[in-house]
Amino acid sequence: MSVPSDLESSSLPDYSIVHPVPGVGRPLDYVPKPDDPLYIGEQLPTALLPAVSVNQYGAEHEKKAFLPITTVREFVMLQFMNSVTDKPDWVFNPEIIEKWRSETVGAPDLDMTTRMFDYCIAELQHIATHVFPQRQDLALVVYNGNVVKSDSAIASSVKVALQDAVKRLENVHEKNKDWHPDSDEMVLDLVHPSLFPLIYGRTRVLKIAEKVVGLEDLVSRCGEGEALVADATNAPAANVRKQWGHGIEPYSLKYQWLPCEVDISGSEARITSYINNLHPKEHADLYRVIEQVIVAAIPLWELTLAPLYDKDYRYYKRIPCDTVEYGPLPAGLTNQGWNSPPRPVIQPEPGSFDAQNIANTPRAIDFKEIYGKQGRPLQIIVKLANIELTPEKWKYEGGSWHVEGQQNEHICATALYYYSSDNIKSSQLAFRQFVDSDSVYYGYPYQQDQHQFLEELFGCQNGMAGVQDVGKVETREGRLLTFPNILQHQVQPFELEDPMRNGHRKILALFLVDPNVRVASTAYVPSQRLDWWQEAAVDALEQLPFELKEKVFGEVDGFPITLSEAKEIRLDLMKERGQFVTEYHYEVKRVNSFSLCEH
């Protein structure tokens, strides 16, 4: 992606001041157009908007939220290659290759043929020889979309530094631990964006053209700005559809997670506005480590998002399947016209591996070139969370299928860094892709009521939503994983390895805001936390008697916000988003389901 020619250095926006963004001086569903000073490219596809996730008749870039319908056999190949690349030394030992062949080809629970296996080995050997040597981080695209993994992107020294830096957040009195609501004290929130979010009608946001909040004045400027209101009478068009009796409300009129600003114009990433709920002075060492993780995540995000930036890119299929082939009727059965018994579906096979398919990649993107050189910071929402298991609570049941955030955040991609795991069995993250159900209806002729091919070839069912299970990725310690917000993901269940002692899995999650859109960030919102304000005020009021200090603190009228009230607000935010996820699943099925009806 190239930078628009009209973005000369003399006319670059000044990001040290507040600019109009969605919800701040602009409608909540505003997207920059070419005449906007902040325009730098088109909005990236997302699975959150109805016009994208459940309607194939949107704009051309919106169709990118749909991936081509893929055969179950190709998913088997992708899953096999993913598992192989989790092993040491990979695929150049003939004895090991033959061992894998005997374990997979013809296995009763795995539809792997000799041609599929040979194709996978050829592709893996090509990647190991020609692709991996070009990348220091050894990042690998494992599923279309793109899902990218790397066990080498982040140095072990950074991992240890992160493990040490979070101890100050972990080693607090038991009563001060922030267990995630409804997690049965298994999920410990260290830093979570649902606490002290932007609250429409209450959060004070700086005025347009004012100097932004930095890392030094986030508390001293507490109270500056005006309460931001999301006008329900002028709701986003996507929300209005819900008022017509159907649809979803992708935009919240209550809340928005707040990202921090990250300068990538130099050789390193530099966080320039506070991470929500992580004090930059008290946790300066943690800020530095998170910056290092961001540096490592950017090249993986570039791989993940490249297909969405490249409008002309088309995914290649290892197993092309543009029609359905049937075998003869079983012996003893005859063709009876429309009432004939179903003929067996012939499963397709891959051709020979062609290195040109691997070379057919989307145009590379470079965040430094597109954004850094224009002085445009990235916006990143940060979360730190631990899953803690004990002999009494020995199993984590997993999460729900979802895409990240609501459309207010404009999240385009996620990076998950699994920086510490102890005494847990293998844990995995599963993915699902959206497909255009009409592509099957119009693309695959079928006889009356004979649509068993849908399940046999593609793993889908008539009458069900246009989604496909893609596969899983192991979330081992030291792994960095990135994926776009056009895919659904789900944390899989896992349990203790040794049931007699405690275990944990710790993650750092980075949610990337669409760099082409930008939203209100912590640069626009001075700290909302009463406890941070009080700590800073204590120094200024040090000479006052205790009674006067209490009087000063007691006269604060509803702002900043107390921690106890923030937790109540978090419950409401979670309720709203939980309802959104439920309605989202229903709407996807209602509008984009397979409907191979009678002719």
Angle between the 546-554 and 530-540 helix axes, to the nearest 10 degrees?
140
Does residue 585 fall inside a structural domain? yes
In a domain, 324, yes or no: no
Is residue 496 situated within a structural domain?
yes
Burial tier of 170 (Cβ tally within 10 Å: 0-12, 13-18, 19+): middle
Contact (Cβ atoms closer than 8 angstroms) between residue 459 and residue 397: no
Task: Please name the residue ranges forming H helices in 408-480.
Answer: 437-443, 453-458
**How much is the pTM?**
0.92
Contact yes or no for 435/488 (Cβ under 8 A) = no
Instruction: Burial-class residue 508 by CB neighbours within 10 Å (0-12, 13-18, 19+).
Output: buried
The pLDDT of residue 60 is 45
Q: Which structural domain, as residue segments, surrounds residue 475?
A: 9-69+144-310+362-528+562-591
Residue 273 domain-assigned (yes or no):
yes
- Is 89 inside a domain boundary? no
Overall size of the chain counted in residues: 599
How buried is residue 520: exposed, middle or buried, by Cβ count under 10 Å (0-12/13-18/19+)?
buried
Contact between 398 and 492 under an 8 Å Cβ cutoff? The reply is yes
Q: How many domains does one find in the chain?
A: 1
Residue by residue, DSSP assigns 289-340 as HHHHHHHHHHHHHHHHHHHHH-TT-----SS--SS--B-PPPTT----GGGP
Backbone torsions φ then ψ of 162, nearest 5 degrees: -70, -45
| 574: enclosing H helix or E strand | helix 563-591
Alpha helix locations (H) across 408-517?
Answer: 437-443, 453-458
pLDDT at 5: 41
pLDDT score for 63: 60
Whether 515 is in a domain gets the answer yes
Residue 351 lies in a domain: no
Query: Has residue 228 been placed in a domain?
Result: yes
Q: What is the mean pLDDT of each run of 10 residues along the chain (599 residues)?
A: 42 94 92 94 85 41 76 97 89 89 91 96 94 90 96 98 98 95 96 97 96 96 88 62 62 96 97 99 98 98 96 91 81 57 85 89 95 97 98 96 95 98 97 87 66 86 89 98 97 98 98 98 97 78 49 57 97 95 84 68
Cα distance between residue 122 and residue 30, in whole Å: 47
What is the model's pLDDT at position 339? 53
Print burial letters for 84-98: b (CB count within 10 Å at least 16), e (below 16): bbbeeebbeeeeebe
CA distance 413 to 367: 14
Give the pLDDT confidence score for residue 53 in this predicted structure. Answer: 41
The H or E element containing residue 84 is helix 72-84
User: Exposure of 472 by Cβ count < 10 A (0-12 exposed, 13-18 middle, 19+ buried)?
Assistant: buried
